[in-house]
A and B are shown apart, each in its own frame.
Chain A
Amino acid sequence: MKGKFGLGLVMALCLTLFAGFGAPHAGEGIEGSSKAAKLDACVEPTDYMRRNHFELIKHQRDITVHEGVRATDYSLAGCVDCHVRKDAQGQHVPVNAPGEFCSGCHQYTGATLDCFTCHATKPTGNGQ
């Protein structure tokens, strides 16, 4: 009985460890086949983007919806287009999937990500 419990504990530990291997760490989301992975910086310097990306998106959304301005560096569609990764089959992986660019940090920091309840998580090619 005691032995079985010990075995179970070891297995549980192993599972946790292996799961840990695959899990992303904050800030490593741009690894891979996204356009962003090939660039030195985002639309603003990286340290600025880390702290202020949501300010940029939030202001942009009002300007786009109410004033119709679309020629912009700060659109959410732009974020998705650049940061979305392709899998081995060449298919886009949703940018909010676990471990992808957006959720990589947002899960780590426990910040709720609401954009993708409504917005497309991969480019759909019908206007930005």
Chain B
Amino acid sequence: MSQQTDHLADKARRQFLTKATGVAAATVVAPGVFLHSVGNAAPREEPVNDSVRWGMLIDTSKCADGCNDCVAACDKENGLDQLIKPEGASEEQWDMQRPRWIRSVKLKNNLTGRVTTLPMMCQHCEHPPCVDVCPTGASFRRADGIVMVDRHTCIGCRYCMMACPYNARSFIHENVQLKPTATPRGKGCVESCNLCVHRLDNGLNTTACQEACDKGAIVFGDLRDPESAVSQALAKYPAVQIRADLKLNTGVRYTDV
């Protein structure tokens, strides 16, 4: 019994220490100066619920042709830049198959010749086709709107890659040598953008791509909160869903496409 009490006391002390360090981290920056994302940085204690729906608005008029900032930031954040070309594969093969969460896509209007560049990633649909077709439940939609792959149950069948209208999913073909703590990955699993879920779960409310875009083309936030930057921008600008005809209600929207 006493052992149990000691154990509980230990636990309480540990929690206190965790919280105390959190406070220190927020105040150390500078007196009176709070980094927006550091202020409430603490690991999530309660399960996510649907009072939040994470989403994005991308202003493609700000996307410069040839700019790769968001793709590079995503690769770095999620360890995709550490993957190496398999032995014997050609550059073209690797370019086609290398895992990417964001692709830079170029659209050309054949009538007018106008070219638009935009980042294309998982659109975090309300009714995701990848979830419909997954035979094991590995592809799932979290309560806060993030569409993810549970790699513990993914069997690598790649049905989801076929079902996704946005070509947003990648497959890991080879064993991975360097694995970041926040984004585990291994041979035989599918993966895609998860809106930097490790950041959101640790109390930050930014994504790597949004942070990297110095032109402010990406606005990220809670679609359910009318006061959030993304909701305000959606109310103001004419935004569209890509392939709106599929009625998937995507969480990622675009303007000026």
Contact = CB atoms under 8 A, between A and B. Distances in A.
Nearest to B48: A68
Contacts of B140: 66
Contacts of B197: 68
B80 interface: no
Contacts of A62: 152
Contacts of B14: 73
Contact of A127 (B46, B143, B182): B182
Contacts of A68: 44, 47-48, 142, 144, 197, 200-201
Contacts of A127: 181-182, 198-199, 202
Interface residues of B, number: 38
B44 A119 contact: no
B244 to A, nearest CB: 29
Interface string B191-213: 00000011111100000000000
A79 to B, nearest CB: 11
B151 interface: yes
Contact of B184 (A45, A66, A67, A120): A120
A67 B186 CA distance: 22
A71 B47 contact: no
Contact of B175 (A45, A71, A117, A128): A117
A125 B181 CA distance: 7
Interface string A93-128: 000000000000000000000000111110111111
A61 interface: yes
B175 A126 contact: no
A127 B18 CA distance: 15
17 contacts: A45-B3, A64-B201, A67-B47, A67-B142, A67-B143, A69-B201, A71-B42, A71-B45, A73-B14, A118-B184, A118-B186, A119-B184, A124-B180, A124-B182, A126-B181, A126-B182, A127-B182
> 9 shortest A-B CB distances, which residue pairs?
A118-B186, A67-B47, A127-B182, A70-B43, A71-B43, A127-B198, A68-B48, A118-B184, A71-B45
Given A118-B179, A119-B184, A126-B182, 14 more contacts: A44-B7, A68-B47, A68-B48, A71-B18, A119-B181, A120-B179, A120-B180, A120-B181, A123-B181, A124-B180, A124-B181, A125-B181, A126-B181, A128-B43
Interface of A: 44-45, 61-73, 77, 80, 117-121, 123-128
